[in-house]
Amino acid sequence: MTKDDCFELGIISKLFSFKGEVILFLDSDQPEHYYDLDMVFLEINGQLVPYFVEKSAVHNKANQLRVRFDTVDDEDGAKRIVKKKAYLPLAELPQLKDDQFYYHEVKGFIMHDQDDQKIGKVLDIIENPANTLAEVQYNFSEALIPLNDQSFISIDKANKIIKVNIPEGLLEIYK
């Protein structure tokens, strides 16, 4: 299994007990979808390694799971996996409505502005706590276009087109 076949579910955020339990932070709008995990892949030294879940329970907040893995049974073992990213296969993603999308899906789509003018091909999505940005091929360079609930207009998955409201004057800095 490679990272291209997976999505980032979250991160092992901290230790929970001296018996090897850890807190898995679920970076999801629907954390309840992942409450009954059997297995996750943890990124260890650049490789995805399967870790099988012995038991898990919601911890404090909806997006935190207290997890015990079958091969981690003490504090030292748990310390080795703290701050490791957790992944699941893409097939584990919940089905979305036609007007919704996952960021990895829109790479390669053609971005259009609010006037339906072609801007360029989406090269990558940059997730930033302040604002998610689409890196778009525009006029022989890369433009960074906000991609959030306020800027998103529509998506046509069949034709691979995403339409966004581009702030006035933004594209001029890339000419």
Residue extents of the structural domains in the chain? 3-91, 103-168
User: Residue 143: beta bridge partners?
Assistant: 136
Tens of pLDDT along the chain (175 residues)?
888 899 999 999 999 988 899 999 999 888 999 999 999 999 999 999 999 999 999 988 889 999 999 999 999 999 999 999 999 999 999 888 888 888 889 999 999 999 999 999 999 999 888 889 999 999 889 999 999 889 999 999 999 999 999 999 999 998 8
Q: What is the CATH number of domain 3-91?
A: 2.40.30.60
* Cβ-proximal residues to 20 (8 Å cutoff; 6+ apart), any chain: 68, 69, 72, 73, 74, 75, 77, 78
For the chain, give the number of residues.
175
- Its pTM surpasses 0.95: no
Determine the Cα–Cα distance for residues 52 and 87; give it in Å rounded to an integer.
12
Determine the Cα–Cα distance for residues 168 and 84; give it in Å rounded to an integer.
40
Which of 14, 6, 12, 15 has the alpha carbon at shortest distance from 47?
6
What's CA 1's distance to the chain center, in Å? Answer: 17
Token look-up 């998955």 returns: 157
DSSP 8-state class, residue 101: -
Which CATH topology does 103-168 take?
A: SH3 type barrels. (2.30.30)
CA separation, residue 138 to residues 40, 55, 122, 152, 159 (Å) = 38, 48, 9, 18, 19
